[in-house]
Structures are given as C-alpha cells and as structure tokens.
Amino acid sequence: MIAFVALAAALGALWAYLRGGVLPARWSPVRRGPARRILRQCGWFGATTLAVLALTGRWPALVALPPEFVSVRAATIRLAGGTLRVDAGTLWVLGGIVLGGALLALAERWRGRPLGLGDVEGVMPRTLRDLAWSVPLSVSAGVNEEAFFRLLLPLAIAWVTGSALAGFAVATVLFGAAHRYQGWRGVAATAISGALLAFVYLLTGQLWVAIALHIAIDLNALVLRPLLSGRVRW
C-alpha cells in the first residue's frame, strides 16, 4: 500500500509542478519569477522526495544506492564495460562541458543567432540581474530534479512494478516531458540528457555526481553561453 501512496505522491507533485510551472517560451521565468520557480522546485521536487524517503525510512538512499537499483546498476556496468570512478577523469568531463559550451557560445556570437536543440529563449538571461539568478536556478534544478527524477520516481515505480529499469525509463520520459515548453526537439534532447544523467548515477552509485553534472550543464547553458555569446546586456 505504501508503495502506491509513494508513487501517487511523486506523480501528484510532478503534475502540480507542471500545471503551474511549464510555460511557453515567450514567458520568461528568469525575468518574471526566478524566486518563485526555485521555491516550486524545492517544494514539489525536493520536499516531496525528502517527505517520501522520511515516511518510508529510506533516508540512506540519498547517499547510498538503494538495493532496488543494484540489478539495473549491474546491467549498466556490464553495458559500459566497467564502473565510472570519480577521480581526475571527472574533472576532464566537466572541463569538456565548459569547453563545449564556450565553443557553442562563440559560434552563436559569430553567426548572430542561437544554436542548439529546443526553444529555450524564454529561460535565457538577457541582463546582469537575470544572469545573477541563473546561478541559484542552476543549483536548484540540479539538486531538486536529480533527487526527484533519478531517485524518487525510479524508486517509487520500482516499488510498484518490481522493475528498477522500468522506473528509470518512465522517469526519463517524464523528465523530457517536463520540458515540453522547449518543443519536441527540446523534449528529446532533455530526455537524452536525463538518460545520460541516470547512466552516470548508476555507474558511480552516487547521486551527488549526477547532481554536480546537472548543475555544470545548467551553468554552462544559463551562465557561460549567455556571457560569451553576447546575449547579456551590460
């Protein structure tokens, strides 16, 4: 019974967030309500995750891979040919993200128009004030969305279905759907990003690694690229 309640709570939180939080690209949450967006992420995603884990006595899942994920992690490791160690190589990955973002931003500046998949103009900063909000927005999204889409949703679905693989698959699809304001290309790109983040989580067995990677991706998109591409008005 508790499994169905946990899943209902997670899906209800997602529905509540989407009902008031996904807006057309013309509407800029960065300019019109960044604090509200952060609070809604913390409330519907973060607080729901903490509440369900607390009520089910599964607090350790925040710092250690849940037993329900062991089999799908083993399959992921076999697919990848080994685990992913958090060492100096991780810094190279983060450096690659920064370099890729810088090159894309310079290409945007040279061509005079945005590049990339999806319509993200509504969330891109245009002033220094917008840019200042991009940092806490990136951190909030990284922490709360990873806790919700890479931990709570897959775990709750695994409790109900008995399949962690189904949990990650459904959570990845919902993660993409949550960004439907970006158009179908943005949804597809976000779903692929979600799958990669889940892959990293399972290979390392550490949620914080996926959180750090998510934050780095968002900082790249919402801070580095706008600065280097000339989007931000000084």
DSSP annotation string for 147-206: IIIIIIHHHHHHHHHS-HHHHHHHHHHHHHHTTGGGHHHHHHHHHHHHHHHHHHHHHH--
pTM: 0.85
**Annotated domain spans of the chain:** 2-229
- Residue 178: phi and psi, rounded to 5, are -65, -15
What pLDDT shows up at residue 165? 98
DSSP state of 224: I
**Residue 122's CB: how many other CB atoms inside 10 A?**
17
Q: What number of other Cβ atoms are within 10 A of residue 60's Cβ?
A: 11
Q: Report pLDDT for 29.
A: 45
Residue with tokens 């960004």: 179
Tell me how far CA of residue 23 lies from CA of 16, 26, 32, 181, 188, in angstroms. Answer: 13, 8, 12, 6, 18
- pLDDT (tens, 9 = 90+) of the chain, 234 residues, equals 899 999 999 999 999 998 865 444 444 444 457 788 899 999 999 999 999 999 999 999 999 999 999 999 999 999 999 887 876 566 666 666 656 655 565 565 555 555 555 555 666 777 888 888 999 999 999 999 999 999 999 999 999 999 999 999 999 999 999 888 778 888 898 999 999 999 999 999 999 999 999 998 898 888 887 877 767 666
Hey, what are 64's tokens?
């250690």
Lookup result for tokens 């939180």: 13
Phi-psi domain of 23 (left: phi exceeds 0; alpha: psi -120 through 50; beta: other): beta
**By three-state DSSP, how is residue 46 classified?**
helix
pLDDT at 164: 98
